[in-house]
Amino acid sequence: MNQDRPQTLIDAPLGEASSYPERYDASLLFPIERAANRAPLEIEASSLPFVGGDEWWAFELSWLDLRGKPVVAVARFRLPADSPRLIESKSWKLYLNSFNQTTFADREAVIEFLQRDLSAAAGAPVTVELFGVDDAALAPRAMPGKCIDEIEVDIDRYTPSPELLICDEGDVVEETLHSHLLKSNCPVTGQPDWGSVLIAYRGPRLDRAALLRYIVSYRQHQDFHEHCVEHIFVDLMARCRPQALLVMARYVRRGGLDINPWRATPGWAPELPARLLRQ
Residues 6+ apart with CB under 8 A from 197: 178, 179, 182, 215, 229, 232, 247, 248, 249, 250
Interatomic CA distance for residues 60 and 88, integer angstroms: 17
Interatomic CA distance for residues 20 and 17, integer angstroms: 10
Rounded (5°) CA angle 165-167-173: 130
Could you tell me which of 193, 197, 194 has the C-alpha nearest to residue 214? 197
Identify the active-site residue in 54, 193, 223, 235: 193
Q: Which residues sit opposite 87 in a β-bridge?
A: 31
Identify the active-site residue in 54, 167, 186, 228: 186
Known active-site residue 186: yes
Could you tell me which of 278, 269, 279, 249 has the C-alpha nearest to residue 261? 249
User: For residues 255 and 72, is the Cβ–Cβ distance under 8 A?
Assistant: no
Residue type, 170: G
Could you tell me which of 239, 240, 229 has the C-alpha nearest to residue 263? 229
Give 128's DSSP letter: E
If one counts every other C-beta atom within 10 angstroms of the C-beta of residue 160, the result is 20
The SS3 call for residue 130 is strand
Rg (C-alpha) for the chain, rounded Å, is 19
Give the distance from CA 107 to its chain's centroid.
25
Known active-site residue 147: no
Which residues participate in catalysis according to the annotation? 186, 193
